[in-house]
């Protein structure tokens, strides 16, 4: 193990450091980390809204609409916050006005992402006539769009300022006023550019990605191990790139997942044994056997963070443990971050591939049954697997085994990342001491 860690430090770390220190990558990382308080607070409201205890669920049912508001304005519009954070961070690296850059990026993101809906016929008590936007388009599903629009808008602003294509104010004008006028022409260019792309040409990044993936839909669902592994790989790979994997893959796979679990449930009700149901790769199979703590099996990484020598990682582990226990991992994905992180991105992809393969063969051989029920995603994984496989103890045991497999896979990469983080903390303390 130590030798493997040494290899990672000597071969992987230099490349990862070079990539991680690149200006745009750094801005993306800092901008996403800045959203961490929102994802943590929003995650706890998600747990509250998805309590697996029926009596408590019935108790909060009348208040669900109100309790949903904090989630919608935190995690629900996460990409909007990330846009501002990424642009502000990138602007600082160029020594541009970060506030102006952040506002221009938000403009670009909204124009490129949101298509207002015109309501002509109002519905009494529900909606009035007017133009509305769907805040779902501002969620983490649009994070890739946030990254692209942030970078492009800042680069346009930088280019126009360097080439003096701006409105200049006389000397003596307050900086905040001067910066506002400097941004006039860049704002016009950014607005027109993204307006043409989205509303004139009708080009949408998320839709384009879904279209590219459509030919794969027959391969990614069913009983094929290759299809299951490909699904897991694409979801985790997109997450590492900063794209909401389930949001991208969902339009392609979810209809087939829904059909699969419905067929399993119907067969089980009809008397078919849980070991002989029609479908293996339901969404529940991945949810309980593979996504332990969320996509990437990140609960294992959270546990490693809890025992880290790095102050930041230990604190992040503590904050992420309870959400992770209920399969909510935005705090660890965006807090570490795993997004755009070449060190943690590798086990984030590899660990689920290994546990998917093991779970598949144990299902095929009849050691564990197939999924016959659909439970809320916030149920703790071993309990959910136990319940969803007609109370199979072996299903719960498999979850525990998969957790420890993921822990072993994450460990060497965690040690490399921990060392890197400790070095940063020591440098920061040394810098503070010299001030």
Digit-coded pLDDT (tens) for 86-119: 999 999 999 999 999 999 999 999 999 888 888 8
Instruction: Give the helix ranges, DSSP H, for 336-392.
Output: 345-364, 381-388
* C-beta separation of 345 from 25 below 8 A: no
CA distance 331 to 42: 10
CA distance 309 to 306: 9
Task: Give whole-number Cα distances, 319 to 67, 335, 424, in Å.
Answer: 21, 10, 21
Nearest to 223 by CA among 371, 17, 32: 371
* C-beta separation of 388 from 375 below 8 A: yes
Residue 216 in tokens: 């794969």
Residue 247 in tokens: 């949001």
The three-class DSSP label of residue 222 is strand
User: 389-405 pLDDT, tens per residue?
Assistant: 888 899 999 999 999 99
Task: Give whole-number Cα distances, 158 to 29, 101, 122, 185, in Å.
Answer: 20, 9, 44, 12
Residue ranges of the domains in the chain? 76-204, 208-433
Helix and strand numbers, DSSP H then E, in the chain: 22, 2
The pLDDT profile of the chain, 435 residues, written as one tens digit per residue, is 456 556 655 665 566 566 657 788 788 878 877 887 887 777 667 667 666 567 777 888 888 888 878 878 887 888 899 899 999 999 999 999 999 999 999 999 999 988 888 887 787 767 788 888 888 888 766 777 888 899 999 999 999 988 888 887 777 667 777 777 888 899 999 999 999 999 999 888 656 655 554 455 446 556 889 888 988 998 888 888 776 667 666 656 766 776 777 778 778 867 788 888 888 888 889 999 999 998 899 999 999 999 998 888 999 999 899 888 888 888 888 888 888 788 898 999 999 999 999 999 999 999 999 988 777 777 889 998 988 888 889 999 999 999 999 999 999 999 988 988 888 888 888 877 776
Q: What is the DSSP track for 250-310?
A: HHHHHHHHHHHHHHHHHHHHTT--GGG-S-SB-HHHIIIII-TTSTTTTHHHHHHHHT-SS
User: 263-279 pLDDT, tens per residue?
Assistant: 787 788 677 888 888 88
Q: What is the DSSP track for 82-137?
A: HHHHHHHHHHHHTT--HHHHHHHHHHHHHHHH--PEEE-S-BTTTB-SEEE--GGG
Q: Which residues of 77-87 are buried (b: 16+ CB within 10 A; e: fewer)?
A: bbbbbbbbbbb
Nearest to 190 by CA among 101, 115, 117, 116: 101
Q: Is the peptide bond before 120 cis (omega within 30 degrees of 0)?
A: no
Q: Within its chain, how far is the Cα of 350 from the centroid?
A: 17
Residue 265 in tokens: 């449930």
CA distance 184 to 157: 10
Q: Within its chain, how far is the Cα of 209 from the centroid?
A: 16
Nearest to 140 by CA among 252, 22, 256, 46: 46
């Amino acid at each position: 193990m130590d030798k493997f860690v040494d290899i990672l430090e000597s071969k992987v770390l230099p490349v990862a450091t070079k990539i991680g220190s690149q200006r745009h990558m750094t801005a993306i990382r800092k901008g996403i980390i800045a959203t961490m308080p929102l994802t943590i607070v929003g995650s706890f409201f998600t747990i509250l809204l998805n309590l697996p205890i029926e009596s408590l669920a019935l108790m909060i049912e009348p208040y669900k609409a109100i309790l949903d508001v904090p989630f919608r304005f935190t995690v629900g519009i996460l990409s909007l916050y990330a846009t501002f954070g990424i642009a502000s961070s990138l602007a600082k690296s160029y020594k541009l006005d970060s506030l102006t850059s952040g506002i221009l990026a938000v403009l670009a993101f909204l124009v490129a992402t949101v298509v207002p809906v015109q309501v002509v016929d109002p519905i009494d008590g529900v909606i009035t006539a007017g133009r509305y936007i769907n805040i779902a388009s501002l969620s983490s599903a649009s994070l890739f769009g946030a990254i692209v629009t942030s970078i492009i808008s800042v680069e346009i602003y930088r280019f126009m300022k360097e080439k003096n294509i701006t409105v200049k104010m006389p000397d003596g004008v307050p900086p905040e006023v001067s910066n506002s006028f400097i941004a006039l022409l860049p704002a016009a260019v950014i607005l027109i550019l993204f307006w043409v792309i989205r509303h004139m040409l009708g080009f949408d990044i998320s839709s384009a990605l879904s279209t590219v993936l459509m030919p794969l839909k027959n391969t990614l669902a069913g009983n094929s191990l290759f299809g299951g592994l490909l699904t897991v790989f694409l979801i985790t790979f997109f997450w590492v790139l900063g794209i909401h994997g389930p949001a991208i893959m969902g339009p392609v796979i979810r209809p087939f997942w829904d059909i699969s679990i419905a067929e399993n449930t119907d067969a089980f009700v009809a008397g078919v044994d849980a070991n002989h149901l029609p479908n293996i790769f339901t969404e529940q199979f991945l949810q309980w056997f593979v996504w332990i703590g969320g996509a990437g099996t990140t609960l294992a990484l959270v546990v490693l963070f809890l025992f880290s020598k790095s102050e930041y990682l230990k604190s992040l582990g503590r904050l992420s443990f309870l959400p992770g226990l209920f399969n909510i991992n935005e705090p660890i994905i965006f807090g570490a971050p795993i997004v755009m992180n070449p060190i943690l991105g590798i086990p984030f992809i590899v660990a689920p591939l290994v546990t998917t393969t093991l779970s598949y063969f144990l299902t095929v051989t009849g050691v564990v049954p197939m999924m016959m029920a659909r439970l809320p995603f916030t149920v703790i994984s071993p309990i959910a697997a136990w319940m969803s496989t007609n109370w199979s103890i072996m299903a719960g045991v498999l979850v525990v085994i998969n957790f420890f497999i993921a822990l072993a896979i994450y460990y060497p990469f965690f040690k490399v990342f921990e060392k890197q983080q400790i070095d940063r903390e020591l440098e920061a303390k040394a810098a503070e001491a010299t001030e």
